[in-house]
Structures are given as C-alpha cells and as structure tokens.
Chains A and B, each alone.
Chain A
Amino acid sequence: MSVTMVSLTIDGSPVQVPEKTTILEAALAHGMYVPHLCHHPDLKPAGICRVCMVEVEGQLLVSCRAAVAPGMQVKTSSPAVDKVRRAAVELLVADHDADCLACGKADSCKLLAVSRYVGIEPDRYETLRAHRLRKEVDETHPFIRRDYNKCVLCGICVRTCDEVQGVAAIDFAFRGYATRVAAIGDRPLQESVCESCGECVVRCPTGALLPIGFEKPAREVATVCPYCGTGCGLVLGTRGGKVVSARGERGHSTSQGRLCVKGRFGWDFVNHPDRLTTPLVRKDGELVESTWDEALELITERFARYRGRQAGVFGSPKTTNEEIYLASKFARVVMGTNNIAQVAHLCHANTVRGLIPVTGSGAMTVPVWQIKDAACHLVIGCNPTEAHPIVGLEIRQAVRRGTKLIIANPCEIDLCRLPHIRLPLRPGTDVALLMGMAKVILEEGLLDREFIAQRTTNFEAYAESLRGFTLEQAEAITGVSAELIRETARLYATTKPGLIFWSMGITQHSHGHDNVWALAHLALMTGNYGKPGAGIAPLRGHNNVQGATDLGITPPWYPGYQFCPGYELFPRLDKFKSSKEKFEKGWGYELPDFPGLSTVKQFHPKAKGWGPGEMWDLENQIKLWYIIGADLANAVADSKGVKRALQGAEFVVVQDIFLTDTAREADVVLPAACFAEKDGTFTATDRRVQLVRKAVEPPGQARPDWQIICEIGRRLGYRGFDFSSPAAVMDEIASLVPAYAGINHARLEQEELRWPVASPDHPGTPVLHMGEFIRVGKAEFWPLAYTPSPELPDADYPLVMTTGRNLHHFHHVITRRVAGLNDLCPEDYVELHAQDAAELGIGDGDQVTVSSRRASMVTRARVSERTMRGVVFKPIHFCEKPTNALTSAEHIDAVGTTPNTKVCPVRVEKVQSSA
C-alpha cells in the first residue's frame, strides 16, 4: 500500500507529509512548535482547547483538526493568529493556579510551555484572575490527586480512559464554567469502573493529575514489572536510595508505556519497614536476629545431613532466570535431589507439562503485541483485565477493531462489557464444552485438513474419542445450550487467526491437563498454529514463572525442558531421552536418578492422581526444606497440611523479602533482595527474555538470591557456584539450554529476544511452531474424555467455590504491603449471586461463614450477579482468611500435579449477630 504524500509549506518551508495528516502533526513532525494542549499522539484529535490555531490563506484554522492539502500555505504565527491565540491562552491561564514553583508537573507542563510561547500580559492576566473560584482538590483516591484548579479541561484524561484503556470511567460533568471531569454520579473515582491504572495521570498536560505524594526521582532505571507474567516495561525512579516513582516505558513493544494499578503504584513494598534486613535463626523456639555467618554455618551443617529424597528445594518465579537456574543446579548438585519445585505446580504445570507431548511446548505462541492481529479470541478460564491487565487491554483494543470475542467463564468477567459470546459453563466442565465444540467442527467439516495432514499425527484417535460424545451431553454437563456451543464452534473455526487465552480456570483442576489438551486440539484441528496472531496464550501468573519452568525448578527436567531420568514412567514422555549425562558433564557432578516430587506432593504425599498407584500413598519423606521466595503455607491447597508438614520437618530454611507465614515456620530465615535490588533477567509469558536492572541497594544485610545460593554451594564445598555476576550465570545457561543458547546480557541491552534463540546470531522466535513444532516436529493429538471433578457439591456443601485474583492484589505477600492497594481493596470477601444470596438471607456486606469439608472461616459477602448461580468466588490475597485452608489437596492432576482448587464445594451461611 503506497502512501500518497502531500506537499505544503509551513512558515514558508516546504514539507511533505502523508495525506490525511493534520496540520499540527505535520508541523510537529518537522520540528516546528505549534502551541497545543488537548492534542496527544495516542488519542484522536479533539480540537477543544483552541490553542493550536494557525492561519491558512487568511483563515484561522484549528490545526489539530484540519488536514493538510496540496499547496497549502500555513502560517504558525501571524498577527491574527497571535492575537486570538494569546487571548485564548490568557483565559486559560487566568483560571489556573500559578504556583508553578511548587507544582509537580512544572518541568513538563504544557500550559507553561504554551504560555511562554504565546506570551502573557501580566496586567490583563491579573484582571482576568479577579473572579476566579477556588475549587477543592480531590484526594479521595489513594493514588491519584485531582486538582481542579490546574485543570484546563483538555479532555486528555477522558479520552485516554476511553480510547486507550477502554474503560470510560470518567467524563465531563456539569456545564459551562462549572464543567469538570468526574466519575459517574460525581462519586469518588474508586467507586466507579476506574481501574486506577493511572494512564490519565501520565498524559495530563498540567498538574491537574498527579500521583499522590509525588516525589521527583533523582535517577531512573529501566526494568521489568515484578507482578504478572505479561512483562511490561517499567521505569523505576529512585532518590536517596529509595524507589519513589514508576512509569511505563513508552518504547516497550509489549506494554507501550501502559501499566496497571499494581505496576504503576504497587512499588512501595520495596521500601516497606517490614522488609527482612538480617538473617533470623530460631533459638528457644523464637526467630531472633542473627548474622550471615551464624545462619550460613547452621545451614551448611544441616544441608550436608539431609540430601537426596530427604531434601526439598523450592525456587521462586519471582526471582531472575539466573537465580532460578542456580536453584535448579543447587538442588540437583548440592542437595542431590530432584525434589525441586515451585508454585507453578499449583498453576500452569498442567499447561507446560501437558503440552510438551502434544505440541512440544506449553508456551504462548505469539508476542503480546500480536494479540491484536488475531481475528478471534477465545478467553476461557481467565480474567485478563484483573490478573493480566495489559493483556486485557490488548484484547479490548482488538475487539474494538473488530476481533470476535468468545468468553467461557462461570463468572461475568470485565471483558463481558465488550461485544462477545459468553459461555457460562459450570466450573470444572471445560472438557465437555470443548469436546462439544470439537464435535461441531468435525461434523461440519470446519477442519483445516491440510494442516492436520501435514503437521499433526494421531488425529484419528482423537476423532474416535469424540464419536460417542454428543452436543446434548455437552449441554447437560456444562449447562451451556447445544445451540450456543454450536454457534461458538463455528465462529472460532471460521474466524482466523484464532488465539486461545487461558489461565487458572483451566489448569487448577485434577483433570487440568485434559482441559489443556482439549484447547490445544481445537487450535490444531483448525490450523491455528505457527502463524502470526494464531495459537495459544496461556497467561503466566508471575513475572518470571515462564523462566522458572524454562530453567528447570521442576522435578521432570533440568534447565531447558531437558528431562531427568524416571519420566519414562509417564505417558508420552518416553520419547524424550534423559539428559542426565549432559548435565552431569556440564555441572561436573553425578546427578540423582529418581523422579522428584512436585509442590503438592512434597507436602501432601498422599495426594492421589499422579504417577503409578504406589505413588498415590507415599509417606512423609522430606526432612529438610530450602524454600526460596514462596509463601507455600498460603499458596498450596489444604494449607493446614502444609503448616503441619513444615512444623514436622527437621530443618527449614526460608529465603524471602518479608517474614511470610511460611518463614514463620522456618529454622533459619535469610533476607533476600527484591527485583529492584539486583540485576538479571525475567522471561515474560510470551517468551520474551528481558533485563532486570538494579535500581537501589537491598535493605540492611539483605542479599540477592543468586549470591546466597552460590555462597551456600561454596560453603558446602561445591564447584560451579562462583559467578562474578548474573551475566556470567546467563552465559552458563546459554551453554546448556538450547533455547537460550543465543542469549546474553549484552544482546538483551540491544535486542528484543523471544526464545528459542539458537545462537548468538539467531534473531529469536516471535512466532512459535512456524514450519514445524519445536522439539516434536509434528504435533500429536490425544484422545479425550470428560472426567467430573472429584469433589462435587452436595446437601451439606451446596455451592461451588472458585478462587482467583482481583485487580488490586497479586498474592498475599507484596501487594498487601502497598497501602494504596489495600485502601482500594482492604479485606477479604466471598462473592455470590444475588439470587443465591437472597435464598440464604444474605445481604451485600453481611458477615458470613464459608465452610468446606476442611475448614471454616468468617468473611464478608459481596452480592452481585457476576458469578453464575451456585458458584461463589473467593480471592486468594488475604492470608488472614486463607482461602487455601478451604481447598483440597486430595486429588492432583496426573500430568501437572496441580490440585483441584477451582472446584471446591462450600457452604455459606450468614453470621447471626449475638445482639
């Protein structure tokens, strides 16, 4: 497509710009300043500040709304323009607080720039100011301060909220001089649909919108957001050794400057007084402050005592790739164990382990920036707006541009505000729904036969497994009408490229890998793999949980999905040869040869479902735990059992940034550095490996995890733990992990790389599986069958509890230590459907008891119509109301070992007041 260029002159200089460019854009693009206030490059032109006037053939034009024309002669300044423009600016300035010296925006204030340019006459300005009304400053929001005295009503915040965020929480209210920006009903922002993302604050041209308590940073450091796995570019501002600000990095291809409420405002935990600053050692039953020497001596002595099957090591997806690699190496080399686990075993292990035998990888197939290129989005078992807000934004933007949206969820998630088809399925019935869809695609011939023939195997076995299954069965199981399933299947199969998003709603089931297979099969049978915008998007929860699975803090594989011995036991994994020899060579030590236990199994050895029958009834065998950055006492299902196991262990070391509930059970607690205090890399959900940069020093004696791991390794006398820097660790990773072979810190300074990066000159792989499926060549179909969830509602526990995150919190540890996020969402709740609530006599805000077969707790009811009838939702963020005390660890997935936390039968009763 060729662009037609238009030639014109601006102030006599000839310029050429593409047609339809506005005069303002043309001038700015050629370095000519035209004063403006309501223009923003991200937004559609509004033309309401009337400041950007220019003269064209004697006529005054508002340049942000007037398109260029061939031969046009534009004057950016002329007596007529200057006069009207100056008077218009004077009117605005006269109604503006002139405390520029005290204003947080003074160095970037556009009104100041405009006034300086047009010139203000002080006398007239004083006259105009005479009748100015003082307006109250709105500081009701914990993060956003709105000063109406500095607002020029340019509407950039209003348009940002609508056009960039797709939220439209604010608009102009009232009229004439009384006009101001307000949320619905002129109520506080936090009572509206506002997501507190702060995008309005970023774009505000004056000091009208500022972060509360804004301090100007002395230095800025570009790094990566520490919350979800989207991998947004974050620029931290520091001052006096503290983090004081955060902003999005506009040039970042994933986030393009955008951040969610957690990313933009949730950095204050770094400075929190609760941070661990010295090692703690348990003495006489109490954890007391100690020294590194004392703590490390104790550790060295005990670690030597309990090795192999008696040791359990946890790595952390909040740490860097380098630290994760070292944790994996440490467990296998130093502790001689494959009992190396992490919290991914509670979430996407079903995706990662489940898809290796199907398509060779469980990772997202396309970059986040290609989400908008998909013609159809199937969003199932996830709520991106709250858990992966920037992905949620990309979906919103795509749908606004015409992408079709299918939402399968028992809860009415925020994306339901967009045009969509919604499949309100019963929790745990995804396989039946997806088999129904597959059946329609098969019967109606909507398959991509060529793709199936050329790039897959075993389709017949899969088709055979669908033979006896009918849409009527699907309807009976899921509660979604057969007609709706049919319509959705047709839409997905015929609208390409299609991209499937999923998250915990799919994986946190004891049949989670079946769900994952069913989804991958849908994409395979419609040829939705190996193309831009097509495939799967399993949204990873932690900033570096992708790296954590990539680099082997999991029993089945060493770094780089290279398998340990023993996994021939498991279906389909027999084709992957053990890499034990390679790593024994690489690391220089003999490595253990027994299959390790993953997270749930380490604490609940009698959990059923994984491995051969004899594995379903193990005895406690772990005597020592070394737990890096994981609050397992809250994160693992049936959390009471976790605490019992920790209390029964011989020796527990917890290495973290706060004294978590898990750390309280430890014998030694080591203070670690957080993401802002060290260098390294994170791998985002779309496989992008990014540099994390140190912005401030760790507090007190806290140290980066990589240094602590290496120090323990060295003290125990092992070679291979003497690295000068994280960059050196990455070089070792590159030497052993094929997908990271071409990655080093120097390249990451310059390039945007998504694995696999086969060599130092390989450009990375934005779209996975082009040409052939990685590792497996051809994808392989698997027969499917629907298995009901193991624990179902009955008369005693009639409701199904499903769990998850909300927008304002991440998990228990970090966001609960950000005051503003706690203000926005201060306490636990259980959300239930209005009709269920009415039948139970429960009103919004009532105190209720939630009971499962394992525990009972009092919390507050939130009554809405967001959940479907019979389903309640409880967030996981409040360890004082530990949701996982209610959930069960009795059954885990056969492949991913994930517990069944998304279908937990409960009873909800109103607390009768004793008065």
Chain B
Amino acid sequence: MHLYRAHVLVCAGTNCSLKGHRAVRDALTREIVGRGLGDEIKVVETGCFGLCEQGPTIVVYPEGVLYCRVKAEDVPDLVGIHLLKGRRVDRLMYREPTRPVAVQTVPELDYFRKQVRVVLDNCGVIDPDSLEEYIGHGGYTALARALEDGPARVLAEVKASGLRGRGGAGFPAGLKWEFGAKAPGPIKYVVCNADEGEPGTFKDRLILEGDPHRILEGMAICGFATGARQGYVYIRGEYGLSISRLEHSIRNARELGLLGENIFNSGFSFDVEVRFGAGAYVCGEETALFESLEGKRGEPRIKPPYPTEVGLFGRPTVINNVETLANIPAIVNRGAAWYRSIGTDTCPGTKVFTLTGDIVNEGLIEVPMGMTLREVIYDIGGGIPGGRRFKMAQTGGTSGGCLPESLLDVPMDYDKLAAAGSALGSGALLVMDDTHCIVDVARVFARFFLHESCGQCAPCREGTLQLHHILDRFTAGRGSREDLALLGRLAKTMAGASLCPLGQSVPLSIMTTLKHFEPEYLAHIDDRACPAGTCRPPAGGMKPAAAGNGRRGY
C-alpha cells in the first residue's frame, strides 16, 4: 500500500459542489501533479464536512488544517505555501465569529469541539465512493459481528441501546425491529426512508453523500435481525449525488459479496434497490412512501395496521430513517452501554441537525441529545449574524413548532422539546432574527402545507387552504378577531380529524407562532400594523411600519 505524506480532503457535499468544489479539486490535482508531488500528496473527495456556509472547504492532513471559501486561484498558494513550505495560508483559514484569531486546525474549532460524531464519523473524512476507505475505517465489521452474534443478540443490543427513530417521531427502533422480526410470513422488507422533504433538512442527503455504505450496512443488519432479504432505499429524486453514490456503493458492495447471496458465507442473503420519490412531501410519511414505492399515488394509509404487520407490498416491513440506520453499525460494534453513555436517559445517542436561517454557521452538525438550543445556536452555530437579535427558532422543520427566546435553554431531545410545545422532528433548526414578521412567517408555513397536502382527506385539503387565506388576510391588514378564533378552530379540527401526520401537525407550527407572539398578531388585526415592517400589502389595509427595518424575505 502506497503511503502519502499528506492528504488534501475536498468536501464534495452538495453545498460545496454548488459553491464550486470541482474547480478547486481539479486545480489541486493539476498543481500537485505539475509540481511532481503526485506520489507524495493525495487529493480525496469526501462527503460533507459540516460547515456548509464556509464552502468550498478543504482540510489538509496530517495537521488537520481547515481552509474555507477556497477558490481555484488559491490553489497555487495552498500547494506552494502549505504543502511545500509547511506554513499555513492565513487568509483562507476559518475565523470564529467570537474570536478574532484565525483557527488553526479542525479539533480547535468551536464548531467541532462540542460535537460528537457517531453518524457523521466518516463524513468529510473518507472518499464516499471508495468501499476500501469505508472498510479501512471499520466498515462492514458490524455486519460481520452481527452475523456471528445471531439475530436475537443484535435485536437485543439495538433494543438495549435505546435508539429512537430519527425520522422525527422518535419511536424506539429496537421495538420496531422486534415487531418486524415477530411478524409472520416468508417475505419481509427493510425500507430506508430517504425521502427527506422537511424544509431546512438536509442531513440524510449529506449522510448518504458522505458515507453511503454505512446505510447499506445498517440495512443489512436490520434485514438480518428481522428476517428480511430485500431492502429498498426510497430517496428523493432531487438527490442526484446521493443517488449516484448510493448506486455506486451498492454495485461495489455486491461485487465484494457484502450484499447479495450468502453474505460472508453465513447463509444470509440481502440486497438493496434504490427507488426515487417524485417530489411529494407527503411521501416522507411511511405509508404514503409505500404506496409510492409500489407505483401508486402517494397517499397515506390509515394505521393500524402498522408497517411491521402490513407494509410494503402488503408484507411486514421495517422502515427506518437514514440517520437511524446510520447509528446501527456503531451500536453493534461498540455496544448498547457505550451508546447509552451519550445523550440523555430517554433519548440516548447523538442527533444530527441542519442549521439554517439567520445563523452564522449554516451547516450540518452532530451533537449529543439534550444539548440546549442556546448551545447549538451560539456555541456551535456562531450566533446571529450582523449582531441582530434572536427572534425564534423552529425545530423539526416546517411541521415543527416555534420557540421564542425564553425557551432557548430547552434541552433538545424528543421529550423535552415536545414538552416545550415543539418537536425534535427531523433535526432541522431554522433560526430567525427580529427582522422577520411572525405572521408572515406563519403564512409561508401555511402556503407550504397548502402546496404539499396530498388532498386525500378533507380536513387537511380544505383546512390548509383556509389557514392560508386567514393568514393572508392578516398580512394584508384585512384580518379580524373572528378570523383569529377561526384559525384556532381550524387548527383543532385539523389536528383532530386529519388522516395522517401531515395534516395533524400543520397546526403545530402555526399555533406556536400565535402562542408565543400573540401581540404581533393582534397588532396586525387591531392596529393594521406590522411591527417587523415586512407586511406591505399591494393596496390599502396595512399602515406603514413605524420603526420596522423593512426586510421582506418571502
């Protein structure tokens, strides 16, 4: 095996790709080969590194120096100064918003210091297209161990770990596996839900882009534990890079006999196919996902029966989120006790969050369950840009609730966030500063649901329309107190009468804005005024804002 004296890791996640990582990669390769360093220094494309805001990012090892916003023009300096002369290129180094000094290496970053990387262990480190690199980092040893231990022990370990479903509902994964394992029948399925549709959520995409084999390994272990021989990854059709890496990885794993017939000569056979979603938000709901995967219109089924009894193609099916499955190899390898040492009692382990909105470090992070909102936003996220004031954070995506400043110290796990009137959900964390009008924000939420309601059940189909119109009236200065009462009534109806979690959760986001920011609503209704100054209707109605700063984001 050839040894290199240095590795240059170039993030090839979606966000860095969009910011032009290819040009940087090509320039690096050209420069290194051109200077005759091809045998000494290796350029590696990796998955997401996390600091999406700062992309394209590269890390130079062995020192672990992080360079941000790198352009092709910077490459001669990087090679000439860092890789040849051993000095650092100061101007490209990351600056913490809280500290004036440029940060030297990855472990020194506040952004990384508070993170615990289980799921993202390999992301940004290995070449996701290289099965060898995955194996080099311990890949597929968990599957081998599982096959030795037998299904019962694997099941027991996953149950003991306390792992809860990371798709949003937080159902105990081990219990679900147990139901799947106990379900009778010769044919069962494992489905990986990668139809990540929650606005502001892109963790599954980056996990799949950065470490696709981890998911395949997790699915194979799940198949072994529950008695399934076939797995499907249902993935958003828009996730081109995830899809190509996943399909490439499936081919490689098959070639090495890590998927397919008689894996490791154990008699266990398991294979995975990738199926694409077609852009419907509701297909992230597991039963609508099955309908779509079966080739039908994506509409939720009524539960019970639950998927572990009647799932895909009418067979018992264990369906897990990408992040849930990504936890499995680590749990099998390192044990439930280790896993429980991370996070909180009721929610062990880590949680991957995607930080978006008015936050300095937009990106992908992984932290122990139970970290407070404040720590995540200020210590890792770097706070609110431009010195503006925090207004609210929405957790769990558009169907999650909004939290005001007074709730910044809520520990983030399933139960505590639910108690605070929100939801952990998919791990999206949207931060907004005080330039946003909360009523306008709620209107945008409503518009999203209006667009994404599947139309099957009446309360959701008709209710989303009505919610949107009421909020529209508010922002146009035409709302009334009666409308406000109607809003509450509709929300209750939708929560109580809708068929699936989509309609049932619509009220959460909208009603938490009302709960925490009622005066702002009343200003729109009683005074025809928008305190944030963003609501400017085309004609009549709204008074001009007295002291707003006039940013209109939507």
Contacts and interface: CB of A to CB of B under 8 A. Distances in A.
Interface of A: 47-51, 53, 60, 62, 65, 80, 83-85, 87-88, 91-92, 94-95, 123-124, 127-128, 130-131, 152-153, 155, 171-172, 174-179
B96 interface: no
A65 B463 CA distance: 22
Sort A-B residue pairs by CB-CB distance and give the 9 closest, nearest first: A179-B455, A91-B462, A87-B493, A176-B453, A50-B497, A84-B496, A131-B469, A177-B465, A47-B302
A177 B459 contact: no
Interface in B470-526: 482-483, 486, 489-490, 492-493, 496-499
Nearest to B457: A48
B532 interface: no
Interface in B440-470: 450-459, 461-466, 469
Contacts of B455: 153, 172, 174-179
A128 B465 CA distance: 10
Secondary structure dominating the interface of B: helix
A162 to B, nearest CB: 11
Given A48-B458, A87-B490, A88-B459, 6 more contacts: A50-B458, A51-B458, A85-B497, A87-B493, A131-B466, A177-B461
Contacts of B302: 47, 62, 65
B343 to A, nearest CB: 32
Contact of A127 (B299, B454, B486, B496): B486
Nearest to B489: A87
A84 B466 CA distance: 15
A95 B489 CA distance: 17
B462 A94 contact: yes
Contacts of B459: 50, 88, 91
Contact of A88 (B299, B452, B458, B465): B458
A127 B481 CA distance: 13
Contacts of A174: 455
Interface in B297-314: 297, 299, 302
Contact of A124 (B465, B486, B496, B497): B486
A58 B483 CA distance: 29
Interface of B: 280, 297, 299, 302, 450-459, 461-466, 469, 482-483, 486, 489-490, 492-493, 496-499
B218 to A, nearest CB: 32
Contact of B466 (A49, A83, A91, A171): A91
A915 to B, nearest CB: 47
A56 to B, nearest CB: 14
B497 A48 contact: no
B486 A47 contact: no
Contacts of B462: 91-92, 94-95, 177
Contacts of A83: 492
B493 to A, nearest CB: 4
Contact of B454 (A47, A60, A131, A175): A175
B447 to A, nearest CB: 11
A130 B469 contact: yes
A710 B3 CA distance: 112
Contacts of A49: 457-458
A47 B299 CA distance: 12
27 contacts: A49-B457, A49-B458, A50-B457, A50-B458, A50-B497, A60-B497, A84-B493, A85-B497, A87-B492, A87-B493, A88-B493, A88-B497, A91-B459, A91-B466, A91-B490, A92-B458, A92-B462, A95-B462, A131-B465, A171-B297, A172-B297, A172-B455, A174-B455, A175-B451, A176-B452, A177-B453, A177-B465
Nearest to A124: B486
A153 B497 contact: no
Contacts of A128: 466, 486
A50 B451 contact: no
A513 B492 CA distance: 72
Contacts of B496: 60, 80, 84
Given A50-B499, A92-B462, A172 B456 contact: yes
Given A131-B469, A172-B297, A176-B450, A91 B458 contact: yes
Given A48-B499, A60-B496, A84-B492, A177 B454 contact: no
Contacts of B498: 50
B493 A91 contact: yes
A62 B459 CA distance: 13
A152 B461 CA distance: 11
A92 B461 CA distance: 9
A85 B466 CA distance: 16
A92 B450 CA distance: 16
B289 to A, nearest CB: 15
Contact of A172 (B299, B458, B469, B490): B299
Contacts of B458: 48-51, 88, 91-92, 152-153
A51 B458 CA distance: 9
A107 to B, nearest CB: 23
A93 to B, nearest CB: 10
A65 B496 CA distance: 15
Contacts of A50: 457-459, 497-499
